[in-house]
């Protein structure tokens, strides 16, 4: 499957252009998403497409890239950061808002006369001809609940590409760098909560990539629990088959995990600042490290690096393992709130200058 990043286009149908800014903002986009007929059919207006007979049909702008006619393709959709004014200041199309996979080109190019009449009548007289025509099913279409920011830098990092996307002509670009693709998909994976109704859909979709994408946490991993949870939910102690676990040795498996380089100075500073006491529950560090006898605490990023959080002193705290795991994996209960409150108070004090 080939992957393309595609910039959302202004709405040219249904004479609704004045309802949205030239490049829809997230809120506008949500409105667009929810305005589909009968059910949410995704990206219909922005990329000038709509749900016809249960299938999503789209027209994507032709310039900038050639899309294979007989290959399944995936589109990763981007819109601008907040609003038009702001997007000028930063970079256009800076937020990943959704993904559609298994898209199939039905004509290439698609002459104006092939545009379904239902759609054609909405096209403005002087709208530019839409050439690429594709379909995918609703079940392969996802609008992210937590859009991914700084997408331009993610997809076209300055370290690799000389020009930014905003300098590049065209609305579609292939993501043909494997490590970038892996990172983009991992970020999408990370952004979809396991508890979300979207997750089953996404799980099926990501299996189709044949990529070993792992849901990762920047600081704590709990990557196997999902399988464990399934087994737990399907079994009772009384009928669990313990005899099946004859000695088995795991086969080593190389896995790629998306991780972030944390600045060791930030980690060290956060540990120094904590003076061996958990900043979530005020308990002393549970043990000393064997390596150097220092008090063991874990440095936690309040806004995760994977969600665009900064690796800076005002975004970190030092926690005991219990508090740390609770923040990452626990229920948002009273204890959770208490820990968060303590951390926020600590950070506020640091700001004043202690």
Please say whether the beta carbons of 143 and 33 come within 8 A. yes
For residue 173, give both structure tokens.
Answer: 């670009």
Please say whether the beta carbons of 132 and 60 come within 8 A. yes
Of the listed pieces 68-76, 190-198, 204-212, 278-286, which binds Zn ion according to CB under 5 A? 278-286
Q: Which of 198, 281, 302, 347 binds Zn ion (CB under 5 A)?
A: 281
Q: How far is the CB of 39 from Zn ion (least distance, A)?
A: 38
Q: How far is the CB of 352 from Zn ion (least distance, A)?
A: 23
Of the listed pieces 138-146, 174-182, 184-192, 280-288, which binds Zn ion according to CB under 5 A? 280-288
Looking at the DSSP bridge assignments, the partners of residue 295 are 288
CA-wise closest residue to 73 among 138, 115, 136, 130: 136
Q: Which of 42, 62, 147, 280 binds Zn ion (CB under 5 A)?
A: 280
For residue 279, give both structure tokens.
Answer: 């900043």
Question: From start to end of the chain, where are the E strands?
Answer: 2-7, 50-52, 55-60, 73-79, 95-107, 132-137, 141-148, 172-174, 298-301, 316-319
- Of 14 and 338, the one with the shorter C-beta distance to Zn ion is 338
Q: Which of 47, 76, 278, 295 binds Zn ion (CB under 5 A)?
A: 278
- Of 26 and 302, the one with the shorter C-beta distance to Zn ion is 302
Residues 6+ apart with CB under 8 A from 247: none
DSSP annotation of 163 = S
Round to whole Å and give the CA distance between 169 and 186: 27
Ranges within 186-225 binding Zn ion (CB under 5 A): 219
Q: How far is the CB of 184 from Zn ion (least distance, A)?
A: 23
Burial class of 126 by CB neighbour count within 10 A (0 to 12, 13 to 18, 19+): exposed
User: Residues for the chain: how many in total?
Assistant: 354
Q: Is residue 266 at the binding interface for Zn ion, with CB under 5 A as the rule?
A: no
Q: Is residue 326 at the binding interface for Zn ion, with CB under 5 A as the rule?
A: no
Q: Is residue 323 at the binding interface for Zn ion, with CB under 5 A as the rule?
A: yes
- Of 169 and 264, the one with the shorter C-beta distance to Zn ion is 264
- Of 99 and 320, the one with the shorter C-beta distance to Zn ion is 320
- The footprint of Zn ion (CB under 5 A) covers 219, 278, 280-281, 300, 320, 323
């Amino acid at each position: 499957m080939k992957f393309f990043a595609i910039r959302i286009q202004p709405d040219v149908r249904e004479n609704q252009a004045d309802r949205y800014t030239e490049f829809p903002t997230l809120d506008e986009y949500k409105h667009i998403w929810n305005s589909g007929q009968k059910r949410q059919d995704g990206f219909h207006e922005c990329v000038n497409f709509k749900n016809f007979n249960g299938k999503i049909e789209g027209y994507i702008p032709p310039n900038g890239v050639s899309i294979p006619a007989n290959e399944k393709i995936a589109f990763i959709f981007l819109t601008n950061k907040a609003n038009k004014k702001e997007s000028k200041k930063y970079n256009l199309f800076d937020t990943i808002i959704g993904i559609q996979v298994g898209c199939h080109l039905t004509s290439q190019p698609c002459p104006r006369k092939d545009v379904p009449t239902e759609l054609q009548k909405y096209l403005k007289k002087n709208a530019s001809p839409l050439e690429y025509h594709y379909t995918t099913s609703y079940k392969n279409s996802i609008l992210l609940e937590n859009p991914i920011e700084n997408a331009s830098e993610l997809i076209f990092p300055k370290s690799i590409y000389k020009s930014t996307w905003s300098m590049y002509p065209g609305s579609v670009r292939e993501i043909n760098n494997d490590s970038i693709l892996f990172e983009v998909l991992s970020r999408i994976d990370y952004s979809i909560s396991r508890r979300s109704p979207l997750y089953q859909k996404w799980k099926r979709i990501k299996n189709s990539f044949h990529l070993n994408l792992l849901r990762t946490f920047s600081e704590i991993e709990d990557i196997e629990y999902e399988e464990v949870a399934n087994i737990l939910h399907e079994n009772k102690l009384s009928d669990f088959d313990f005899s099946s676990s004859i000695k088995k040795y795991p086969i080593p498996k190389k896995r790629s995990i998306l991780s972030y380089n944390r600045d060791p100075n930030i980690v060290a500073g956060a540990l120094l600042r904590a003076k061996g006491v958990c900043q979530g529950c005020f308990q002393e560090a549970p043990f000393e490290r064997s390596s150097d006898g220092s008090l063991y605490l874990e440095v936690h990023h309040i806004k995760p690096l994977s969600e665009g959080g900064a690796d800076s002193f005002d975004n970190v705290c030092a926690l005991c393992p219990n508090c740390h795991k609770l923040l990452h994996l626990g229920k948002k209960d009273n204890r959770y709130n208490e820990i968060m409150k303590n951390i926020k108070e600590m950070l506020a004090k640091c700001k004043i200058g202690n």
